[in-house]
Amino acid sequence: MPTPDLDAVCHTDGMSAYTGVIFGALHVIGGTQHIERFNATLRLRVAHLVRKSLSFSRKPEHLELLIWMVIHRDNASLR
C-alpha cells in the first residue's frame, strides 16, 4: 500500500514539539506565510468563519458554497 504522505515535506514555524513527529529533512522551518495569508483572507471575507453568533450557515453545504465562491473570486482576480 503506497504511503505518499510519509514522503511529504512539512513546513512549520519551528516549535520544538514538531521534532518528535516530523523527522530529518522532511521538516522545513518557515514557508508558512502563504498559508497564513490565505487563512487571514478567508476570515476577512467570510464572516461565518470568525464568530458563530454573528453569522452562521444553517447547512454545511451553504458554508462550503460560500467559501468556494470566495476562493473562486479570489483566483479569478489574479488573472
Distance of CA 8 to the CA centre of its chain: 16
C-alpha distances in angstroms, 24 versus 2, 8, 12? Answer: 21, 12, 13
pLDDT of residue 5: 62
Q: What is the pLDDT of residues 14-73, one digit of tens each?
A: 777 877 777 777 778 877 888 888 888 888 888 888 877 767 778 889 889 988 998 898
Domain residue ranges of the chain, discontinuous segments joined by +: 1-31, 33-77
Asked if residue 53 lies in contact with residue 60, where contact means CB atoms within 8 angstroms, the answer is no
Whole-structure pTM value = 0.57
